[in-house]
Amino acid sequence: MKKKIPLLFFLFILLLPVFLNSDKQKIVDCLAATVDREIITLLDIKIYREFILIAQKNFKSEEILEKIIEMKLVAREARKEISLNQDEILQAFDNLFKLMGEERVMEKMKAYGLSLNDLEIYLREKLLYEKMLALRTSLQIGVTLKEIENYYFEKYVADQKARKEEVRPLVEVIGEIESKIRQDKIREQVIIWIKGLKDRALININKSCLKILEGEEKWPE
């Protein structure tokens, strides 16, 4: 018996963390932000990240939140002009399953208590966001000859010389430059538009909730 006492003590020490952990409080969810009357919680941030609804994985929590806010605002505007049909939704699910693997998706859905209908809400928002941006970026924007010339002389020539590459004549690169300027203008317009949406919305970010997220070493499962 005396020899068993150290064994039992060792077992006790082994078991102690298990019981202590089960008593430890941890955050399940909190209100991370509000956009007008819509809420964003910690769970939303996790879902957006886990289901790859936000493109970049290595964003910090605040950056992800900003992105989610942007998506919500753009999707809200999109609902006024765009509708989604069932085929598009099914395609979105298909893409997700292919990307993550169907089993993994189902596992995560179970972990978060999501049904397919619940996940569809998130996917719809992402689709509307992407469609709206595509619509905005397909708008016709004029580019003047003056702008092309300025770009050619101020940017193109300098860049080519810096890269020690051949400086082609304007007439050869006019199409490329026009396209580049157009893309830049569209991008700038979209940024300004999104900024306008953010300025008009009432956005509150709860930094203490975000700190909780950042304080965790890894994403809680």
Partner 1 sequence: MNLLNRKTDFFFLLFLIVALVNLVYAQEKETPIIGEIEILIDGEAAPAKFGNLVPLQRGDKFSPLLVRRAIQNLYFTGLFSQILVFQKGVNPIDLTFSLERQLYLRQSFYLVKKGLRSEMIEAEVKALRQGEAFNENLLSAARSEIIRFLHQEGFFEPEIEVEIVRKASSFIDLIWKINPGERLKIRQIQWKGQVEELNQKEKKIINFSPGDEYNPRRLQSLCLALQQRLRRRGFLRAEVNWLVSVDREREVADIEIEPRLYENIVIEIKGAQVPKDLVIPLWEERFFEEWALSEGEARLLRYLRRKGYLRAQVRGQFFKQDNFIQVTYNIERGPQQSIVAIVFSGNKSFQDKELRLALGLPARALLTEIIDGEKLYELPRKLEAFYQMRGFPEARVFLGLESKGKRALAHLYIHEGPQEKIVSVRFEPKLFFSEEILRKVIDLKPGDPYYPPRIKIAGQKIVEFFHQQGFRGTSVEVKEIESTLGSYSLVYEIKEGERYRIRQIFFTGALITKEATILKELRIKEGDWASSSLIEESKRNLERLRVFTSVQVEEVPVSKDELVLVFRLSEGERSLASVGIGLETRNEPRSFEIWNNVLRLRGTAEIVRSNLFGDASQLSFISQMSLKETRGVVSWEQPYFFGLPIRGYMNMWLEREERISFGFDRRGLSLTGIKALKGDLMTILTLRYARTVLTHLEITESEVDRQFFPFSSTSCSISLIHDRRDDTFNPERGYFASGVFEWAFPLFGSEADFLKAFFKYQRFYSPAARWNLSGTFRLGLGRGRMPIHERFFAGGSNSFRGQQFDELGPKDPSSQKPVGGKALVLFNLELSFPFIASFPEMKAAIFYDLGNVFSKRSQFNLASLEHALGFGLRYRTPLGPLRLELGWNISERKARPLLFITIGQIF
Member of 204, 214, 216, 219 binding partner 1 (CB under 8 A)? 204
The angle at the Cα of 203, spanning 200 to 205, to the nearest 5 degrees, equals 160
DSSP class of residue 81 equals H
Question: Which residues are bridge partners to 41 per DSSP?
Answer: 31
The angle at the Cα of 116, spanning 114 to 119, to the nearest 5 degrees, equals 65
Question: Is residue 7 a contact point for partner 1 (CB under 8 A)?
Answer: yes
**Comparison of 118 and 188: residue with beta carbon closer to partner 1:** 118
**Comparison of 110 and 195: residue with beta carbon closer to partner 1:** 110
Contacts with partner 1 in 16-35 (CB under 8 A)? 18, 21-31, 34
- Give the pair of three-digit tokens for residue 117: 């209908």
Question: Is residue 216 a contact point for partner 1 (CB under 8 A)?
Answer: no
Question: Is residue 81 a contact point for partner 1 (CB under 8 A)?
Answer: no
CB of 80 to partner 1, least distance (A): 17
Phi-psi region of 96 (alpha: psi -120 to 50; beta: other; left: phi over 0): alpha
Question: Is residue 37 a contact point for partner 1 (CB under 8 A)?
Answer: yes
What distance, in Å, lies between the first and last C-alpha atoms of the chain? 42
**Residue 108 CB-density burial (10 A; 0-12 exposed, 13-18 middle, 19+ buried):** middle
C-beta separation of 35 from 72 below 8 A: yes
Question: Is residue 15 a contact point for partner 1 (CB under 8 A)?
Answer: yes
Interaction mask 85-124, partner 1, x per CB under 8 A: -------------------------xxxxx---x------
Question: Is residue 69 a contact point for partner 1 (CB under 8 A)?
Answer: no
CB of 84 to partner 1, least distance (A): 18
Q: Which of 205, 219, 220 is nearest to 34 (CA)?
A: 205
Rule CB under 8 A: which residues touch partner 1? 3-4, 7, 11, 14-15, 18, 21-31, 34, 37, 39, 41, 43-44, 110-114, 118, 203-206, 208-209, 212
